[in-house]
Amino acid sequence: MLYEECPAPPALQPFVAAFWLVRGEPAARYEKILPGPSSHLVLNLSEPYRVIEPFRRGPGPDGPGRPAATEMTAGFHAGLQRSFLISENPERIFNIGAVLAPFGLPAFTAEPPAALQGRVVDADLIFPGFSGLRAELRDPTPAQAFAALGAFLTDRLRGAYRSDERAVSAVAALTTEDVRVGVLAGRLGVSESTLERIMARECGVGPKAYADVCRFHRFVTAASTLPKGAAAGRELLALADYYDQPHLIRAFRRFAGYTPSEYLRVVYEYGPEFATFVPLTGVPGGSAGERPGSAAGAGFIQDRREAGR
């Protein structure tokens, strides 16, 4: 599997953190993609594949039916996720993408960030013309792909738009440390309610929700590197910012659809490079609590960079 990444051009920072390209045969037909602290704009250059949202139900004959699934033929935007998603892969993957900061969307669109978080949507709805890059990039090198992506996004910057610096600072803090919202608000010189409003406006999620995703993401990244057999409950808890083991297990089930031990068994089998894109061979379609590898176990997380793809 080829994976390459480069920082976004200075003109796009801090709204866009990086560009990435992944190409090759997937480890399994399905991937459970776990939540992470960014959103992604993705251009599919391979055969179509499906993104399944287990907690959002599609229409059925008598009301909501099976988990919602969207076929991705060209471009899509995956907003900040607070639960896993599922990717049903083609035989070969060829995608390029941009990693957007949580506060990055308003630099490109007037669409409220809250309307896009937790959703996977056709990119042309918020980045008109994005799918047209597919025709331009038949078989690009990474440099060609990144140049095209950079030019497209630079052309769509909203003039002199600037993010609220308090949101930028809050995101930087919450991404790297476990800090209480009240303490963070005090650092920034605002009340908790004001910080809540700022982040909801700029990022589409509040500071507590964003902190939960970041805490989980830090934990799985660290846990996936533990040597096999070294992940007893207390050892896992020592890596985490969770106050006790039941709290850790509840958070893990909510975000990943696994218990920590179930997750580690899969990662030990495939390797730590699959920490956030967890291979699955079973056909997805069930609830978050089902065991990995079963007919229903599957999901979707965020950051291919962390997977080392």
241 burial level (CB within 10 Å; 0-12, 13-18, 19+): middle
**Arithmetic mean of pLDDT, 31-41:** 93
Give the pLDDT confidence of 87-140 residue by residue, as tens digits.
Answer: 899 999 999 999 999 999 999 999 999 999 888 899 999 999 999 999 999 899
- The overall average pLDDT reported for the chain is 84
Q: What CA–CA distance (Å, rounded) separates 154 from 168?
A: 20
Among residues 263, 267, 271, 268, which one has the least CA distance to residue 291? 263
Q: What is the pLDDT of residue 234?
A: 66
In this predicted structure, which of 124-133, 181-190, 218-227, 282-291 has the lowest mean pLDDT? 282-291
27 membership: H or E segment, kind and range: none
- pLDDT of 287 > 50? The answer is no
Q: Identify whether the C-beta of residue 185 lies closer than 8 Å to the C-beta of residue 146.
A: no
- pLDDT of 285 > 90? The answer is no
Q: What is the pLDDT of residue 233?
A: 63
- pLDDT of 188 > 70? The answer is yes
Predicted model pTM: 0.84
Structure tokens belonging to residue 270: 């495939």
Q: What is the pLDDT of residue 57?
A: 66
Q: Is the dihedral of CA 151, 155, 161, 167 positive or negative?
A: negative
In this predicted structure, which of 99-113, 120-134, 188-202, 282-296 has the lowest mean pLDDT? 282-296
pLDDT band (50, 70, 90) for residue 59: low
CB-based contacts of 46-49 (< 8 A; 24+ apart in sequence): 46/90, 46/92, 46/93, 46/94, 46/95, 47/90, 47/91, 47/92, 48/72, 48/73, 48/90, 49/87, 49/88, 49/89, 49/90, 49/93
Structure tokens belonging to residue 75: 């471009």
In this predicted structure, which of 3-12, 84-93, 147-156, 259-268 has the lowest mean pLDDT? 259-268
Among residues 33, 267, 11, 50, which one has the least CA distance to residue 159? 11
Higher pLDDT: 139 or 247? It is 139
Q: What is the pLDDT of residue 119?
A: 87
Structure tokens belonging to residue 130: 């994005």
> Phi/psi class of residue 28: alpha, beta or left (left: φ > 0; alpha: ψ in -120 to 50)?
beta
Give the whole-number percent of the chain exceeding pLDDT 70.
85
Q: What is the pLDDT of residue 306?
A: 36
Q: What is the pLDDT of residue 220?
A: 87
Among residues 38, 120, 73, 56, which one has the least CA distance to residue 303? 38
Q: What are phi and psi of 108, to 5 degrees?
A: -125, -20
Q: What CA–CA distance (Å, rounded) separates 51 from 30?
A: 10
Q: What is the pLDDT of residue 82?
A: 86
Ordered domains of the chain (ranges, CATH): 2-155 (2.60.120), 165-272 (1.10.10.60)
Among residues 291, 222, 306, which one has the least CA distance to residue 253? 291
- pLDDT of 289 > 50? The answer is no
Q: What CA–CA distance (Å, rounded) separates 57 from 298?
A: 15
Give the pLDDT confidence of 215-246 residue by residue, as tens digits.
Answer: 999 888 888 888 776 655 667 777 777 777 88
3-state SS assignment for residue 50:
strand
